[in-house]
Amino acid sequence: MTEWTVVFWSSARQIAQEAKLPRDLWPEADIAPAAFFAQLRAAGEDTAAAAYLACALPKLETIEWGLASLPPLGREDPEYAPRMLLRDAAQRWLHEPDDENRRAIERLLEGADQSWPEALIGLAIFFSGGSIAPEDSPPVPADPRLPGQLVAGAVQTVIAQNAIDDPGLAVRVLDLGNRFAVNGREAVGARWR
């Protein structure tokens, strides 16, 4: 098993707690984070593995993994344009994670369907740092756990929506997430698409 080089956690149990996994899924012994991720996957607990990994990764890696996990959209999709705008804005923010790009995503989210995985990733970006209050108000910080929870929801949504048409998607998405844990943001070069 390859060591997770970008994950700062040392206890799988702490990650499981932080990810709000059901208690019956927590590791009995304190094992390495990568080993527990492998156990979840071997047990077929794909949604729990996604939540666990989204919590374990640093924010930028979590968000980039979520974005890289989105399957292609067909141009015939009636929601193609607004969803692609969110994807493009998220890419812009990943390349330049500043407040201007974060606020641009906030504006795009106003008209977005909050059930889209792109919207959940956009919310993860908005809550990733900086104030969540309106721009002309005193700053209000976000809960630092929100980005991981929102990306977990996006990845779980992608897996669930594609389970019948693409049963291998969960494996590819979790493999990609594991590559992010090992190689950081360089994992994007090894995307499954």
The parent domain of residue 75 ranges over 12-131+140-190
Within a domain: residue 154? yes
pLDDT digits (tens, 9 = 90+) for 120-158: 999 999 999 999 999 899 999 999 999 999 999 999 999
> pLDDT by residue (tens digit) across 17-38?
999 999 999 998 889 999 999 9
Residue 34 belongs to a domain: yes
Q: How far is CA 160 from the centre of its chain?
A: 15
Q: Is the pTM of this model over 0.75?
A: yes
* Assigned domain for 2 exists: no
What ranges in 25-168 are assigned the alpha helix state H?
A: 33-42, 46-56, 59-68, 80-95, 99-109, 117-126, 146-161
Assigned domain for 115 exists: yes
Mean pLDDT of 43-49: 97
Give me 168's structure tokens. Answer: 């291998």
The number of residues making up the chain comes to 193
pLDDT digits (tens, 9 = 90+) for 57-115: 999 999 999 999 999 999 999 999 999 999 999 999 999 999 999 999 999 999 999 99
Report the number of distinct structural domains present in the chain: 1
Please give the structure tokens belonging to residue 145: 């756990």
Q: Which amino acid is located at 94 in the chain?
A: L
